[in-house]
Amino acid sequence: ITLDTNDQMLSFMFARQNGSELLTENQEPLFDQPEFIESAEYLTNYFTEGYAPIDLGLDVVQAFGAEEPNVPMFISGPWMINIINDQMPDIEEKWGTAVLPAKENNISFLGGSNLSIFESSEKKDEAAKFIAYMSKPETQTEWMEMTKSLPSTKATWAENETLKNDEKLRTFGEQMEAAEPMPMMITWEKVAQTYLQSFEKMYRGAATVEDEVKVFQEKAKSILK
């Protein structure tokens, strides 16, 4: 399997699947708790045991679509469907998608683009009408056909025949039933980038998982103050 070591969401996603809450209600970090440490050890083992490559510079699509694929599996999002079909049309009928396996749960990361209204806007009513228009199932369907972006409203998923009948796309609708965004705070990105530095020390063997997670816990405390 290929696991993207630069994906700051991956480790937190695995931690949630192991029962970690990541933060308390007061936004204090819980990274030194058993649930997070255990998930970090689990993910690190993929690299230390040779199940996931490090620094091979692989193009995941080319490796996945090779006649003898050395990357038969990877974790990614719905955008990869079109990328693989465009770059590797010969394997279109030979691969599929699946929801994440579960431990305590199979929570995935939920993200994307957002429509919002600035507090300082002088045209709040017009902006609200635009957001309402963009949220209609028929608009979201047309937007999906134009951009290949999946819709965000449940009504569109329930009504659109392509989303209901396409096996690869339908998987992502199922997964979004168990998906959550990362903590909604300005400092979270800095926390996540800081973790990538600690994670690199773990999977390269420069530090033990338990020791490095404790270091990260203290750094996260300082960032979140």
118 assigned to some structural domain: no
Q: Tens digit of pLDDT per residue, the chain (225 long)?
A: 999 999 989 999 999 999 999 999 999 999 999 999 999 999 999 999 999 988 767 788 988 888 876 788 999 999 999 999 999 999 999 999 999 999 999 999 988 778 999 999 999 999 999 999 999 999 999 999 898 888 989 999 999 998 989 999 999 999 999 999 999 999 999 999 999 999 999 999 999 999 999 999 999 999 999
Range of the domain at 212: 10-111+181-224
Clarify whether residues 16 and 92 are in a common domain. Answer: yes
124 vs 106: CA distance, rounded Å: 38
Clarify whether residues 26 and 73 are in a common domain. Answer: yes
CATH number of 87's domain: 3.40.190.10
Task: Give the number of other CB atoms < 10 A from CB of residue 19.
Answer: 15
Give yes or no for a contact between 61 and 88, defined as CB atoms under 8 angstroms apart: yes
4 assigned to some structural domain: no
The two structure tokens encoding residue 102:
């579960």
154 assigned to some structural domain: yes
Considering its fold, how many domains does the chain have in total? 2
Burial readout 124-157 (b: 16 or more C-beta within 10 A, e: otherwise): eeeeeeeeeeeeebeebbebbeeeeebbbeeebb
Clarify whether residues 92 and 189 are in a common domain. Answer: yes
HSE, CB side, 13 Å, CA atoms: give it for residue 173. Answer: 20
pTM beyond cutoff 0.85: yes
